[in-house]
A and B are shown apart, each in its own frame.
Chain A
Amino acid sequence: MTPRERIGWARTGPHSELVTLVVFLVAVPLGTVHWLGLAAGGALVGLTAASTRRALVLGVYLGAAAVLVFVGWLWLAGVLGKAIATGQLFGASLAIAFVFPILGAAVRGFG
């Protein structure tokens, strides 16, 4: 298969949903390494989507997952209440976690 055929297989092939799940599972930990990982993860799930609209939906899912994992991490560390109390700091982190994967997923718009 050519690279283009491979991408097409991932996007619309019989196992496209499984591919999306695997890419999604790779994308989430990427976001914990660096903020660029959030955008890169979004780009990964976006590129495996069947359409730009679908890519953006997956970006939203990934952003929501990043938010949930981040909040869960803080909760496990016993500092969720303190993190919420930081106000702007916590809000900025949540916004980055949610928005950057969507921005990354938008690269699907290039084709």
Chain B
Amino acid sequence: MATWGTRLFAVGCVAVLVVASVFGSGVLALTAPFSGTAWETVDRGERTVETPYGPATVTYVRHGVPHVEADSTEALYFAIGYTQARDRLFQMDLFRRQMAGNLSTVAGEATVESDRFHRQMDFESAAETQWERLQGTEVEEPLQAYTAGVNTYMDRGTLPLEFRLNDYRPTEWTPADTLLVGKRATWGLSGEFSDLRRATVRNRVPNASELYPDQLDHNSSIFELAREGRTDSPATNRPTGATTDRESAADYGALYDSLARYERGQGIGSNNWVVSGNRSATGEPMLANDPHLQLFAPPVWYEMQLSGPETEIRGVAFPGVPMPLIGQTDEVAWGITNVGADVTDLYRYEWRGQQYYHDGEWQNATVETETIDVRDGPDETVEIRKTVHGPVLEREDQTVAVSWLGLTGTREPLAFYGFGQADGMDEFRDSLRNFDIPASSIVAMSDDGQTFYRPSGTYPIRRTNGTVVRGDRVFNGSADEGTWRGFEPYDTSNLTGTGFVDYERVPRIENPEAMGTANQRVADDLDFYLGTSSHFADSYRGQRVDEMLESSLEDGEITREEMRAMQRDTRSLAAEQFVPIALNATDEMSDEARRATQRLDSWDYEMRKGSRAALVYDRWLTHYRNETFSDEFYPNGLDESYYPHDWTLGRLPADSRWFDDRSTIPVETRVDIAARAMNATVEEIDREGWDDYGDVNQLRINHPFGGTDAAAFLNYPRQPMDGGPYTLFNFRASSNPQAGSSWRMIVGPDFGIGVRPGGNIGNYWSDHYVGDDLRRWRLGEYRQLWTNPGGDPDIRFVEGSG
């Protein structure tokens, strides 16, 4: 017989079960062994998929790269959609949520401001406009097939772990979502508010304009450094001179501070170069590209091999976009870096309620109110206002409207589709006519030995009272300044009309012998406005590319090993510029600082993780920057994001006014500041216990949801890294998130090597979630690209209802 005691015990146990099932049902559903949704994706689902678009196969070749093969374009794109969703669905959904302003629905209050910004910019409507623009073109049906493939996976496949951990499901994918992911990339490379930053600095810091020259003082523009080849640069649309303080100074600090986190990362850049067959050891052209983007887990690029009717493409695409953006076919290969062109203009107005004065009359702004659904918090409302120029952004009574080229129906999906279909260089070049945004320095080579460079993009021409002007200021929209003729935000614009630089007027280089680009100024004397020094990178990397090409050419012809050595190069030309400044200041330093500085005297400027000298230099430069500018900037409410280029800092004369510390009575010079910075450096290194550069140059590639202890396993392991912001082997440890070479590729007509900073598969349980690529990437190693599929397909797509 059961005693009262055992009965009570039984009641207690059952009560525990009941309570757990009622109050812990979510955790149980997630974590239960075998049946918990967290373990669902251990088995990756169907191997045979029905499709209405025709048969196709997916074979995962080495390193988690899918080889997708089909006899029709639509069948191919359906399979791409299914496969991308299978491997990267969470990332795809996150990208579109971010751009549509729907993050808070799943992430809570932390992302409300991000959602507010993205809704006010209304990227979603811009993507829908672009989809309307693309209907009836050759990409319409492939995009629809891709969309159907994504949705088929969502219907039938297992959802990635991240959806389970955060307990939500993705909504149906649409073609506009693919274009929205494209907007994320184009905004991330070309969307910026430098006009606000520059106006604010000029307003708050006396004489600041000398720190922000129209052009940085160097002779290393892309065209200047190119070898051979024919250059066409006809004169037209030359704008009036640089904007003066009187024209542009105004305080937009509050507005800029609230928007800075959403603009393209300052200093983010990329490298590419091409060598003709005449100068390569193999007699065949070679091309290298490494775009420097934010580093995430999983990586921002998805690698694919596509085999369709009349096309063989190998390359990388953004998850959510079917067309490879960088890659190679049997006939052509291409690489892309960001031009950095100014395609964002800002307009202020006289306002009267919801009316703004423009074109000689008061006009009604379009006003809508939307609700942001916030997880575990009260809903938020956001007012979305638009003028004839574009969306209105407002903070603390500072109000501007934004014209960004990507808000209209741009055509770049046609260009990327065309790259993959090109039979040779002529067709590839024809495709560039559709390449609107982001303006990109595109280098290309073809199997018949041609090479090519063009700063491709659509460039607005600003006019004030009929006069062409520059875009380096906040325009007075009420005085009709800075008009882009024919630009219609959220509608179809006439991008080939008089409001934009004529395609034929943009210079190009045909068959360069050897040339590279690294986001430096495109040309010294363009005949149309492309941007100011704020838009282009310091020229250190560009000069280093040229230096290494030159060195190889002097020795004869360039080999594949030399191409690899260039991408692995960790020599910093910035260090070459700055180290003498520190060495000149040893007399003013403490004994310990002097000893630390002496290490720099014999240093080879290599930013290697095991280098003590690289550590000293890296920390000293940070202190030197702050010691120089903080006394002028911080008291005026301006942080490091307002500092000028390092190139400018490095060339300030020894007695420049910027070296004087305004908080002291004596007048400091460069020597004083360099010494002070080194004293602070040795104190910091001692305090922190750092031994070498690898202690501060730590790789931290994190998953977007890896910030909590429970999901930290999604992050990649921390590692010490070589490289820095100004080395070709590029790594930016201090960026948040970190940034660097997001894909390295070296190709010729008959070979290809490359590496990604992480695995190709976003499913945590996959062997290719981190994969061996991260190690290779970190160490500067490569693997063969473009593997022939062998064995049975992993997924078969068969005729059916889909």
Residues of A near any B CB (own CB < 8 A):
31-39, 52, 66-67, 70, 73-74, 77-79, 82, 85-89, 92-94, 96-97, 100, 102-104, 106-111
Instruction: From A67, A73, A88, give the contact of B709 (CB < 8 A).
Output: A88
CB-nearest residue of chain A to B28: A35
What is the bound-complex CA distance between A97 and B9, given in angstroms? 20
- B27 and A92: CB pair below 8 A? yes
Contact of A74 with B10 at beta-carbon distance under 8 Å, contacts A35-B28, A96-B31, A104-B17 already known: no
A70: contacting residue among B9, B34, B710, B769, CB under 8 A: B34
Q: Which of B2, B13, B709, B767 contacts A87 (CB 8 A)?
A: B709
Per-residue CB contact flags for chain B residues 180-218 toward chain A (1 = under 8 Å, else 0) read: 000000000000000000000000000000000000000
Q: Is the CB of B2 within 8 A of A52?
A: yes
B27-55: which have CB < 8 Å to A? 27-36, 38-39, 42-43
B603 within 8 A of A: no
Taking the closest CB of chain B, its distance from the CB of A89, in whole angstroms, is 6
Within B698-747, the residues touching A (CB, 8 Å) are 709-710, 712-713
Top 10 A-B pairs, shortest CB-CB distance: A109-B10, A106-B13, A35-B32, A109-B6, A111-B2, A92-B31, A32-B34, A70-B33, A97-B33, A103-B13
A88 surroundings in chain B (CB, below 8 A): 709-710
Residue from the list A36, A87, A110 in contact with B21, Cβ < 8 A = A36
B42 partner, pick from A38, A74, A108, beta carbons under 8 A: A74
Apart from A77-B43, A103-B16, A106-B9: 8 A-B pairs, beta carbons within 8 A:
A37-B35, A79-B42, A86-B713, A92-B31, A93-B39, A96-B28, A104-B17, A110-B10
Residues in chain A near residue B769, CB distance under 8 A:
82
List, in ascending order, chain A residues with CB within 8 A of B9's CB. Answer: 52, 106, 109
**Interchain Cβ contacts within 8 Å, total number:** 100
Set A92, A102, A110: member contacting B7, Cβ < 8 A: A110
- Taking CB atoms, residues of chain A closer than 8 Å to B1 are 111
B7 to chain A, nearest CB (A): 6
Are A31's CB and B17's CB within 8 A? no
Asked whether B693 is an interface residue with its Cβ less than 8 Å from the other chain, the reply is: no
12 pairs across A/B with beta carbons < 8 Å? A38-B33, A39-B17, A73-B34, A89-B31, A89-B713, A96-B32, A96-B33, A97-B33, A106-B10, A107-B10, A108-B6, A109-B7
Whether a CB of chain A sits under 8 angstroms from the CB of B95 is no
B13/A34 in contact, CB under 8 A? no
Q: Is B351 part of the binding interface, using a Cβ–Cβ cutoff of 8 Å?
A: no
Q: Is B565 an interface residue (CB 8 A)?
A: no
Size bracket, chain B contacts: 35 or more
Output the nearest chain A residue to B21 by Cβ-Cβ distance.
A36
Complex interface: chain B residues within 8 A of A100 (CB): 17
Q: What is the CB-to-nearest-CB distance from B524 to chain A, in angstroms, rounded to a whole number? A: 53
Asked if A107 and B42 make an inter-chain contact with CB atoms under 8 angstroms apart, the answer reads no
**Closest Cβ of chain A: how far from B37's Cβ, in Å?**
11
B77 nearest CB across to chain A (Å): 31
A102–B43 CA distance with the chains assembled, in angstroms:
29
Report chain B residues within 8 Å CB of A67: 33
Q: Tell me if B110 is interfacial: C-beta within 8 Å of chain A.
A: no
Q: Shortest Cβ distance from A55 into chain B, in angstroms?
A: 9
Find B36's partner among A39, A93, A103, A104 (CB 8 Å cutoff): A93
A108 and B10 in contact (CB under 8 A), knowing A52-B2, A92-B31, A96-B31? yes
For the complex, give the distance between the alpha carbons of A102 and B781 in Å. 53
B14's partner among A34, A86, A106 (CB-CB below 8 A) is A106
Report yes or no: A79 in contact with B765, Cβ–Cβ below 8 A: yes
B153 at the interface (CB under 8 A from A): no
Cβ contact within 8 Å between B2 and A93? no
Question: CB within 8 A of A82: which of B7, B35, B764?
Answer: B764
Contacts of A104 in B (CB 8 A): 13, 17
**Are A66 and B713 in contact, CB atoms less than 8 angstroms apart?**
no
Q: Is the CB of A107 within 8 A of B13?
A: yes
Q: Which residue of chain B has its CB nearest to the CB of A66?
A: B33
**Distance in Å: Cβ of B253 to nearest Cβ of chain A:** 43
Q: Is B2 in contact with A110, judged by CB distance below 8 angstroms? A: yes
In the complex, chain A residues whose CB is within 8 Å of the CB of B710 = 87-89
Give A77 to B769 CA distance when docked, in angstroms: 15
Q: A36-B21, A89-B31, A89-B38 are in contact. Are A107 and B14 (CB under 8 A)?
A: yes
Q: A12 CB to closest chain B CB, in angstroms?
A: 14
In this complex, which of A36, A52, A66, A109 has the most chain B Cβ atoms within 10 angstroms of its Cβ?
Answer: A109
- Give the distance to chain A from B500, nearest Cβ to Cβ, in Å: 51
Which residues from A are CB-within-8-Å of B39? 93
Contact partner of B31 (CB less than 8 A), chosen from A34, A85, A93, is A93
Contacts of B6 in A (CB 8 A): 52, 108-109
* A96 contacts across to B, CB distance below 8 A: 28, 31-33
Expressed in whole angstroms, the Cα–Cα distance for A109 and B767 within the complex equals 47
Q: List residues of B (6-26) whose CB comes within 8 Å of A's CBs.
A: 6-14, 16-17, 21
Nearest CB on B from A73, distance (A)? 7
Distance between A7 CB and nearest chain B CB, rounded to angstroms: 13
In the assembled complex, how far is the CB of residue A39 from the closest CB belonging to chain B, in whole angstroms?
Answer: 6
Closest to A70 in B: B33
Query: Residues of A contacting B29 with CB < 8 Å?
Result: 35
A82 (CB) vs chain B CBs: closest residue: B765
- In the complex, what distance in Å separates the CA atom of A36 from the CA atom of B9? 20
State in angstroms the CA–CA spacing of A109 and B17 once bound together: 15
Once the chains are docked, how many angstroms separate the CA of A38 from the CA of B36?
Answer: 12
Minimum C-beta distance from A79 to chain B (A): 5
**A31 to B33, Cβ gap below 8 A?**
yes
Residues of A within 8 A of B27 (CB): 92
**Given the complex, which residues of B lie within 8 Å of A89, measured CB to CB?**
30-31, 38, 710, 713
In the bound assembly, the distance between CA atoms of A111 and B1 in angstroms comes to 6
Q: Which of chain A's residues have a CB closer than 8 A to the CB of B765? A: 77, 79, 82
Tell me the complex Cα distance, A31–B35, Å: 8
B709 touches A93 (CB 8 A): no
Q: Is the CB of B33 within 8 A of A33?
A: no
